[in-house]
């Protein structure tokens, strides 16, 4: 029941502080026979990496993943896979001034209140650096889902501050630093971010993730529902303030006659549900949205408190993202992939004897593919 673990059969435990010696994770429950090599982690870690563009924080980590266990001759053996990344670019001096300060909008004050002590170096455990290990673990889950079930998990930015996409073409998402699904808007986004950075302020972002190819039947009612597990996993990411499945909050103003997705032998007619009904996958694309708040580390001065209860002026001068949501895209993908793989194993355990159940309805159209 470690609070630093998630997943029931595929359990990921992470550890490490932003400026400690290392961060790492232990991934337990992986089936044997999955090919894993250190270089497999590179692509997604780079997608997540700070320092990729001028629009994200300047911290540069090599982020070299060392596989400490669970892999023999390049394949998982069924024993726990431990991954380790040394912290090589932890400039603690950047943070020295704030050791005794509680920055508004940060976890400083609450860690202090909870534990009576806190590691102030770079946010300690509350730093988004922890999400590196989620991405690494997610790489294995994505691989297994793709190879074993033909599932593809992908995310994109569906809102940046007040800007929304003017179109949705998922094929362009990886071609720009914003994971943005409409190429024509990218120059405007560059300008938007430059102005924002110049102002010293920050904005929030919205990330969408879909998983295509998920078969019907995954998710374990009532308290292990697929959407419930997705909500927990996504809400656990730093700076997340909201999670939607399918039409989410837009469902509130819909009529039932509009929302209910008609099933036909040749496929679902729509996907307002986001691929989940009653907590179980329908066979359609599983679709979630995640709201990221604007980061609270700003160059704009603000009043904070210190540990003596005195008001102090807080200015963040370290490396920070003006929009943490941008590089959260691969983190969200990773969490969705890990939840799906866990649910796949749970489903197999209870219902593994059941063959394919008929009738099976094709998924219908998928957003962003045309």
Binding residues for FMN: 125-127, 238-239, 278, 293-297, 319
Residues 301-320 that bind a copy of itself (CB under 8 A): 302-305, 307-311
CA distance 237 to 255: 32
Secondary structure class of 137 (helix, strand, coil): helix
Residues 199-238 that bind a copy of itself (CB under 8 A): 201-206, 216-225, 227-236, 238
- 261: tokens are 């997705």
**Nearest distance from residue 70's CB to a copy of itself, in Å?**
7
Q: Is 49 exposed, middle or buried (0-12, 13-18, 19+ CB in 10 A)?
A: buried
**Nearest distance from residue 103's CB to a copy of itself, in Å?**
8
**Nearest distance from residue 141's CB to a copy of itself, in Å?**
14
- 277: tokens are 């009904």
Residues 329-358 that bind a copy of itself (CB under 8 A): 345-354, 357-358
* CA nearest neighbour of 241 among 130, 164, 324: 324
**Nearest distance from residue 122's CB to a copy of itself, in Å?**
12
Token pair 């609270």 is found at: 296
Q: Is 53 exposed, middle or buried (0-12, 13-18, 19+ CB in 10 A)?
A: middle
Name which of 123 and 368 has its Cβ closer to a copy of itself.
123
Question: Which one among 49, 84, 189, 340 touches a copy of itself, defined by CB under 8 A?
Answer: 84
Name which of 174 and 269 has its Cβ closer to a copy of itself.
269
Which part of the chain contacts a copy of itself (CB under 8 A), choosing from 56-64, 89-97, 135-143, 262-270?
262-270
Distances (CA, A) of 354 to 52, 239, 348, 350: 47, 41, 9, 9
Question: Which one among 93, 262, 313, 370 touches a copy of itself, defined by CB under 8 A?
Answer: 262
- Pairing, β 286-292 against β 280-281: unpaired
Question: Which one among 40, 42, 51, 69 touches a copy of itself, defined by CB under 8 A?
Answer: 69
Question: Which one among 47, 48, 59, 106 touches a copy of itself, defined by CB under 8 A?
Answer: 106
28 Cα distance to chain centroid: 19
Is residue 126 part of the contact set for a copy of itself (CB under 8 A)? yes
User: Which residues make up each annotated binding site for NADP(+)?
Assistant: 48, 54
Per-residue mark of binding to a copy of itself, 266-295 (x: CB under 8 A): ------xxx--xxxxxxx-----x-xxxxx
User: Which residues make up each annotated binding site?
Assistant: 48, 54, 125-127, 238-239, 278, 293-297, 319
Question: Which one among 11, 56, 271, 329 touches a copy of itself, defined by CB under 8 A?
Answer: 11
* CA nearest neighbour of 367 among 265, 249, 272, 252: 272
Distances (CA, A) of 57 to 45, 177, 194: 15, 13, 13
Q: Give the single-character DSSP code of 222.
A: T
Distances (CA, A) of 198 to 54, 157, 163, 225, 300: 12, 22, 18, 44, 11
Name which of 6 and 156 has its Cβ closer to a copy of itself.
6
Residues 25-54 that bind a copy of itself (CB under 8 A): 26, 28-33
* Run of H or E including 292: strand 286-292
Question: Which one among 241, 362, 365, 369 touches a copy of itself, defined by CB under 8 A?
Answer: 241
């Amino acid at each position: 029941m470690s609070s630093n673990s998630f997943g029931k059969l595929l359990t990921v435990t992470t550890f490490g502080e932003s400026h400690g010696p290392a961060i790492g994770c232990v991934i337990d429950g992986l089936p044997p026979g999955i090919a894993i090599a250190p270089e497999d982690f590179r692509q997604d870690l780079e997608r997540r990496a700070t320092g990729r563009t001028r629009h994200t924080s300047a911290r540069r980590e090599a982020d070299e993943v060392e596989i400490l266990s669970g892999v023999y001759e390049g394949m998982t053996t069924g024993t726990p896979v431990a991954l380790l990344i040394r912290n090589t670019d932890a400039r603690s001096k950047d943070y020295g001034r704030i050791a005794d300060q509680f920055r508004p909008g940060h976890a400083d004050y609450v860690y202090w209140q909870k534990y009576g002590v806190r590691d102030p170096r770079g946010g300690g455990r509350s730093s988004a650096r922890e999400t590196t290990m989620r991405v690494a673990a997610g790489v294995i889950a994505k691989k297994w889902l793709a190879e074993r079930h033909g599932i593809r998990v992908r995310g994109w930015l569906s809102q940046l501050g007040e800007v929304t996409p003017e179109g949705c073409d998922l094929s362009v998402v990886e071609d720009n630093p914003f994971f943005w699904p409409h190429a024509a808007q990218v120059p405007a986004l560059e300008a938007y971010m430059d102005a924002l950075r110049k102002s010293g302020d920050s904005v929030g972002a919205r990330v969408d993730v879909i998983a295509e190819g998920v078969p019907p039947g995954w998710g374990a009612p009532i308290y292990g529902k697929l959407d419930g597990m997705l909500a927990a996993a996504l809400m656990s990411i730093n700076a997340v303030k909201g999670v939607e499945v399918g039409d989410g909050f837009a469902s509130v103003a819909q009529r039932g006659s509009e929302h209910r997705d008609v099933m036909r032998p040749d496929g679902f007619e729509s996907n307002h549900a986001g691929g989940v009904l009653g907590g179980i996958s329908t066979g359609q694309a599983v679709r979630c949205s995640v709201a990221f708040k604007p980061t609270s580390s700003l160059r704009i001065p603000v009043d904070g408190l210190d540990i003596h209860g005195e008001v102090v002026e807080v200015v963040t001068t370290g490396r920070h993202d003006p929009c943490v949501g941008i590089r959260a895209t691969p983190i969200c993908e990773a969490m969705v992939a890990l939840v799906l793989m866990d649910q796949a194993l749970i489903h197999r355990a209870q219902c593994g004897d059941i063959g394919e159940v008929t009738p099976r309805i094709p998924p219908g159209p998928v957003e962003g593919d045309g």
